[in-house]
Structure formats: structure tokens, C-alpha cells
Structure 1
């Protein structure tokens, strides 16, 4: 539960403090969004049961290691707020810290675009004018809803968190029902036929590799409690909420994928309209199954949208408070809501909503780009944790757990490095196109402080990001890669 201390005599409300239960709800609410409803088709397009089991094992272990990393850092570095951004800055300097903050924020913002496209695509199954979520009508309705949520969240974090708790419970129910019904009608012969995987996907290694971005997407939010740590009642609750939230949803994600292989041949699942979970349940129990899942998806997406909006704005706000983003982003209202950061987030989402109108596959582009943008922040956080362990910083005073933490951080670094490899050149270049122009904000910060814009090492990083952006633009222009 959230609470609020008595307001001071000035009439300005005291910052809201969040309990472990509320923070766990925010982690679950962030992870259980639209992604889980797209899992059957995304996996069936790439791999069969065997590959899916391997992929979920890798993703589960890797993301659990990342969850442990965020728990470790929350306990070892309790003064660092907005975890993902703060850890990169502390470990590798202001410029990479800035990139981490911007990348995480951009990832969350593109994720919000994915949510609106997915909702409109779901409605499009009934109202043709919405198409696959990327028609003019769909974008117009999404834009109106975007600004409606903006004004809701401006009312205060307490109200938004309370709504998130209710929605988190409501959206879990249809997913659990889906798993149980799919198990009940599971056909052993269909499941066995789907074991080997898709011939068109190549080797088992490539099949597993091609599923990595979608597993990253559905697990985004595992860092939610760390990102929102400045509002925790007790610092220890940040790490506990992270682990509890992760464990609560991992089995659900894997189960939704695996049981679907027992309902339909994977070739048919791969051709289902998104949300593919609706098509699988319709095949299992009839038309009402599609309606049931579709309603659950809309509830789920709206809840996750709320949590992601809060986390995205929080990163910009805390970075500005630490003088790593322009000072205008540090503005907050009397309800402790970072209004300027929230507005910039809404404007960015609005811009991307317009851009996706020109994409060949708006839904998958938004999903994969969301995952790709967050890989660098995750990689830097894992590297910083490994740096703490190897240098034994904080372990002189409290050596307990050093060996365990060494194993955890090495595995987290290896996993995030593998994710960068799995993302492939296309999304690395698209990420550079977004990252490089963001340096304008960094220049604004340095000028506000009267400092030299780049140090020697920072200039090299800037040059690499600009080169990557140029290569990405050229690749788009000549058709090497496409939206």
C-alpha cells in the first residue's frame, strides 16, 4: 500500500513512499503487458518446442542474473537512484551515463508506442478501419488516448500507483485462464509434431537467437523497482520487489509459449493475427476465447502503460536533478510528478506514433526496437556490478556474498553481451540513429554548467555514435535495412 505523510505548512504534499507490495506490483505491471499476448506467434515464426525451451532457459537464467544484479546494486549502492542510469554513470562516466539514461528512456517510450499499436490491432480484428494498428484512424485514437493518460498521471503518483495495483490483478486472470484451458485441450500429437522447430528458421542456434529480442521485451520492467527507488519506504524493499516480481511472471511467460504448441500446428500459429494468444484460445474453446483474451490484453496494456510512463519520466527527472540532463527536466509539481519529463515523453511517443505509419510492420518494429534500445543500459549496469565485485568496492566493509556476486555478475555480463549479438546489425544501427542526436541534450547540460562539452574519451564515444548513425541512415537509404 502507498501512504502519504502529512503535508508541510506550505501546502505542498510530501513525496509519496511506496511499500514492497506496491513496488512488486509495479514490476509485475511493467513486465506483464502486451508482449505476453504476442508470444505464441513470435515463437512459432522462429522455433519449435525444443528451441522455445532452450530460449526460455537462457532468458530466464539471464534475466534472473540481471534481477540479482539490480538487487546487489540496490543494496551495495543505496544512494544511487534511478538505477539503470545511475549505475552506468557511476561506473563509466557522465557521457555513457547520459547515454544509458537516454537509451532507457527512449526504450520505454517506444514501448509505449508498441502498446498503442497493439491495442489498435486488437480492435482492428472487429473494426477494419484500425487495421494492424498503423492506420490513420488508429494513430489518431492512440494520440488522443496518449494525452488522456498524460493528464491522468499528472494528478499524482499515488493515484497512478493505486490504479496500477488494481489493473495488475485484473490482467493476470485471463493469462492464467488461457494457460489452464490450453493445457486442458492440449493434443499430444500436435505438441510432438511441433517439437523439432521451423525448417525455415535454420539451425537450432539461429532459432534460439531469433527469439531473444522478444524475451527481452517481455522482461522489460524487471528493473522497475530499482528505477523508482527514491520512493521506496525501505531501501531493502527495492531488491526484494525486483526478485519477487521476476519469479512471479517468468513461469507465466514460458507457460503461455509452450502450451500453445499443443493446440495448433506451429505453421498455423505463425500465421495468426496479433494478439496471437487470442487466436490460439479461439481454436481451443471457440470464438469467446478470442474475446476473452482481447479484453484481457486491453486491460493489461493500459496497466503496463501506466507503469512504463512513470518509469520513463522518472529516469529523465532524476538525471536532471543530478545535472546530467537539462535543468528544465527537473521540474515537478506539488504531487511530486516530474511534469516536464512526462511531457517530453508524451511528445516523443507522439512523434514515433506518426513515424510508424510508414513502417512495413509497425508492431514488430516497435517491439524489437524497444528491446534493442535497452540493451546498452542493461549491459552497462551489469558491467558496473562486475566492476564493483572485481575491485571489491564495498566488500571490504561487508565481504559476505562476494563469491556468489562474482558468478552472478559474470553471467549477467555474458547474457547482455549475447543479447547485443542476437539483436543483429539492423537494430544496432537503428539504435545509433536515435542515440546520436540525443547528444544535443548533453551539450545543453555542459553549457548550463559552463564546462567543456567533451573530454578526450567522451569525444571518441561521440564520434563512434555519430558514425553508427550515419551508417544507419545510409543503410536505410539504400535499402540494406528497412523499417
Structure 2
């Protein structure tokens, strides 16, 4: 196959971003937001998340233009800006986060199927794990058949899962009640308005929720080496982010015009099914549950593509072992895809051992994504400084806003998420040491030794506190 045939155009890149971002979470998002904040604070939360994550998207677009030589994914910015060890931790954290997210997709898909087939229970029993394993290797087969086929299938699935979401949006706008929407707009305790500290507490939880549902916005950047045109990567990032943001805002905010905050927060999963059922009856629940299944499959496939591509590119950059760089005759990284899915398979089997595994995996997945994102915005600031960008300029302003947003997220996450991140990253250092020695290059620079020693200390503390982490 010719190289040109393996390139991705603008719309498939947008499809990868939207499929990766819009998973099962959107179908429960109104409940998650309502359990944290009132409608007024939810709107503010979306504005902050939109500005913060939008700044991250614009940082990526800026770096794509200024550093066209860095096309190995978002970790290449960490590697170029802060050295090989930080670059490795960035790609390891990203790869691990996406893999763990895929484990969640497996259980969530069959939990949704249980609405139609009760045999699957909560998605963590034997029939569910067998079913998830079959889907896992079906996705593996589809991806290794070729990039063009995989992106076409991904686009079709994305369109299919947008249908129930669009139906939901049309229905909630049509059934919107202003009286319900504006009742208790800022949240209340009895008849008294929540004090400023209460609103800030709501906002803190809301901003965290909104950040994690945007994971996948970097999808086009991950595939930048395979894009038909370099400019398409930046366009896809901005357009994909804008489209998803609009969908998220409509789904969550207008739901407050159907049910009160208290009612939304108490809905079973998936909450969207019960909101739509309140408008059009049982068909609403059926439509949404079908949408959940399709959405999970699409997000699972898109995220598998991201995971295998980032591991493949890391192998080419000598951060992962060379085994990840092997391609099949269709130009697909077959070993990277297989190893990625093999790890997912192993994690699926862990549900036979303990029902705590899902909760722990999701905490690790959420924790490890902040490092790659933070490295992107810091590198954007560094690039601006090196290229003598004026302090008062759009590029510099975007970089500063994105940096402040990332540090705010780290602070808002709390110390426990820092510990979780270190627990996830430190074991990967063993692979980093192996690769460096295999390539006969120096393992650590002096400042990297300091970073590793500090991380090792936090890792030891995290192991000691593991029981507390499991309960959080």
C-alpha cells in the first residue's frame, strides 16, 4: 500500500476526536453535574472549562504550526521541551490512561446491554467479560485491517451515536420549562442562598467533571504524522472541540429545564434515558440505551486507535521498545495494537478477582492524563519565549490561560491524585531504563535523577496509603 493511501483527511480526524471524547459519559453527564452544582454554577463551570480546554486546543494548534517537526503526538512536546524522561512519562501516562479507559468501556457496554439482556448484570460478571473480550478482539481486527477502513468505520459509528443525542437535545429544548430552570438557580439550603464558599465548592467539583469528559481532544495531534495535510490537524482539533463543547452544554444545561437539580442527581444510570423517558415515555429509554451501546463502541475503537498510535510513535522515538514499531502489510502498527489490547484483556480478567478493580482503574485513568496536558501548555509557553513572542499577544495569552487552568486542575484534584499519578508512572520507569540501556544511551541526566528520587519517595508513600486510596 502506498503511503498516500494511509493518510487521514480533515473529517476523519474530526471523527476520531469526537468519537474519542463522546463516550458513555455524556449519557450520565447531567446527573454528574447536578450532583455537584446548581444550574447557575454549571453554566459557569462550562464557561471555565470551555475557556481552559479551548486554550489547550489552541495551544496544540499553535504548536502544530510552529513545530511541524514534532509529529509523534502530544508526548513529543514533552520530550522536546523537557527531556527524554519527562517525554517518556508523558507518553506512558497517556497510554496508560487510554488503556484503562478502554477497560471501563468494556464493562460499561455490557452494563448497558443488560437493559435488554439481564444476563449481563452490572457489566462485571462472567458473561460480560466474555462478551467484552469478543468485542475487544473484533476492534483489534478492524483496526489492523487498515487505517482507511478503520477511520471510515469510526466515522459511521460516530454518526450513529449522534442520532440519539440529537433526538434528546431536540426533545429537551421542546419540553423546556423556564420555571423549573430558574427555580433555585444558584442552589439553596432551605430558603437561604448558598454562601460564596458554597458556590466555589460547587464550582470546584464541576470544573473537575467537565475537564475529564474532554479527554480525547488531542486525537488529531496523536495522528498528525498520518494526516494528509499538516494544517488539517489544527483545524480538526478546534472544530472537534467546538462541536463537542456545544453538545455537552446543550445536553446538561437544558436538562435543568426538565427536572430539578435534586431530581437529576438522583436518577439511575444512564440518566439521559430517564430524562428522555420523562418526555416521550419508554421509547426514550430504549433510544438512549441503544445510543449508549453505540457510543461506547465508537469511543472504545477511537481510543484504541489513539493508544496503539501513541505507543507506535513512542517506539519510533526510542522511548518504547522497538517491538511496538512493527507494521503489517497494510501499514498498521500490528504489535502496538496487539500489546495494547492484550493489556486491556488482562485488566478485564481482573474483575474475576475483585469488584474494586473498576473503581481503582478509573481513578488511575483520571490521574495520569493531567501530566501530558500540562506538558503541552508549558512547552507552548517555552516555545513562545524562545521565538520571542510578545508578552501581550494572542499566543502568549492562550498559553498563560491554559497553564493557569492546568495548575488549577492539579490543585482542585487534591494531593491524592498526585499520589495516584506517581503510582501509575513510576513502574513505567523500568521499561524506560530497559530501552535506554538497549540503545546504549545514558539513562538519566542529573536533573532527571532528582525527579526520579522524588517520584520514588511519593510512590513508596502511595503504596503505604493504598487502602485509603481504594476507599476515596
TM-score range normalised by the length of the shorter chain = over 0.9
Alignment partner of 1:42 out of 5, 8, 32: 32
Q: Distance in 1 between matches of 2:82 and 2:9?
A: 31
Q: Distance in 2 between matches of 1:437 and 1:23?
A: 32
Q: Distance in 1 between matches of 2:340 and 2:184?
A: 42
Q: Tell whether the 8 Å contact from 1:217 to 1:368 is kept in structure 2 after alignment.
A: no
**Alignment coverage as a number of residue pairs:** 466
Alignment partner of 2:368 out of 363, 366, 373: 373
Q: Tell whether the 8 Å contact from 1:213 to 1:371 is kept in structure 2 after alignment.
A: no
Q: Does 2:97 align with 1:76? A: no
Q: Secondary structure at the match of 2:471?
A: coil
Q: Does 2:228 align with 1:233? A: yes
Give the 3 Å change call, closer, same or farther, for CA 150–59 of structure 1 in structure 2.
same
Superposition deviation, residue 306 in structure 1: 1.4
Instruction: Calculate the TM-score normalised by the size of structure 2.
Output: 0.93
Give the 3 Å change call, closer, same or farther, for CA 417–168 of structure 1 in structure 2.
same
Tell me which residue corresponds to 2:409. 419
Tell me which residue corresponds to 1:149. 139
Tell me which residue corresponds to 2:17. 27
Q: Distance in 2 between matches of 1:78 and 1:331?
A: 24
Q: Distance in 2 between matches of 1:273 and 1:405?
A: 44
Equivalent runs, 1:72-221 vs 2, <5 Å: 72-197=62-187, 203-221=198-216
Q: Distance in 2 between matches of 1:198 and 1:15?
A: 58
Q: Secondary structure at the match of 2:186?
A: coil
Superposition deviation, residue 442 in structure 1: 0.2
Q: Does 2:327 align with 1:332? A: yes
Q: Distance in 2 between matches of 1:128 and 1:317?
A: 39
Q: Tell whether the 8 Å contact from 2:57 to 2:241 is kept in structure 1 after alignment.
A: yes
Give the 3 Å change call, closer, same or farther, for CA 355–424 of structure 1 in structure 2.
farther
What are the ranges of 5 or more consecutive residues in structure 1 without an aligned counterpart? 1-6
Q: Distance in 2 between matches of 1:17 and 1:253?
A: 30
Instruction: Calculate the TM-score normalised by the size of structure 1.
Output: 0.91
Q: Distance in 1 between matches of 2:392 and 2:202?
A: 36
Q: Distance in 1 between matches of 2:324 and 2:17?
A: 24
Q: Does 2:276 align with 1:281? A: yes
Q: Tell whether the 8 Å contact from 1:66 to 1:412 is kept in structure 2 after alignment.
A: yes
Give the 3 Å change call, closer, same or farther, for CA 58–471 of structure 1 in structure 2.
same
Alignment partner of 2:444 out of 422, 430, 454: 454
Q: Distance in 2 between matches of 1:182 and 1:372?
A: 33
**More displaced 10-residue stretch of structure 1: 104-113 or 342-351:** 342-351
Superposition deviation, residue 47 in structure 1: 0.9
Q: Secondary structure at the match of 1:219?
A: coil
Q: Distance in 2 between matches of 1:187 and 1:464?
A: 54
Tell me which residue corresponds to 1:385. 380
Superposition deviation, residue 15 in structure 1: 5.6
Superposition deviation, residue 480 in structure 1: 5.4
Superposition deviation, residue 356 in structure 1: 5.3
Q: Tell whether the 8 Å contact from 1:213 to 1:372 is kept in structure 2 after alignment.
A: no
Give the 3 Å change call, closer, same or farther, for CA 361–122 of structure 1 in structure 2.
farther
Q: Does 2:433 align with 1:443? A: yes
Q: Secondary structure at the match of 2:407?
A: helix
Superposition deviation, residue 33 in structure 1: 1.8
Q: Tell whether the 8 Å contact from 2:350 to 2:357 is kept in structure 1 after alignment.
A: no
1:271-294 CA-to-partner distances (Å, cap 9, x unmatched) read: 222221112111222111011011
Q: Tell whether the 8 Å contact from 2:79 to 2:88 is kept in structure 1 after alignment.
A: yes
Superposition deviation, residue 443 in structure 1: 0.9
Q: Secondary structure at the match of 2:298?
A: helix
**More displaced 10-residue stretch of structure 1: 25-34 or 89-98:** 25-34
Tell me which residue corresponds to 1:350. 345
1:186-224 CA-to-partner distances (Å, cap 9, x unmatched) read: 233322335233769972212121123332232112111
Alignment partner of 1:473 out of 449, 463, 472: 463
Q: Distance in 2 between matches of 1:131 and 1:47?
A: 31
Q: Distance in 1 between matches of 2:304 and 2:340?
A: 8
Q: Does 2:13 align with 1:18? A: no
Give the 3 Å change call, closer, same or farther, for CA 294–342 of structure 1 in structure 2.
same
Q: Distance in 1 between matches of 2:318 and 2:325?
A: 9
Q: Secondary structure at the match of 1:179?
A: helix
1:362-385 CA-to-partner distances (Å, cap 9, x unmatched) read: 3x6655543321111000010000
Q: Distance in 1 between matches of 2:408 and 2:154?
A: 33
1:391-413 CA-to-partner distances (Å, cap 9, x unmatched) read: 226x6xxx9x9811000000111
Give the 3 Å change call, closer, same or farther, for CA 402–27 of structure 1 in structure 2.
farther
Tell me which residue corresponds to 2:57. 67
What are the ranges of 5 or more consecutive residues in structure 2 without an aligned counterpart? none
Q: Distance in 2 between matches of 1:160 and 1:406?
A: 37
What value does the CA root-mean-square deviation take over the aligned residues?
2.3
Tell me which residue corresponds to 1:432. 422
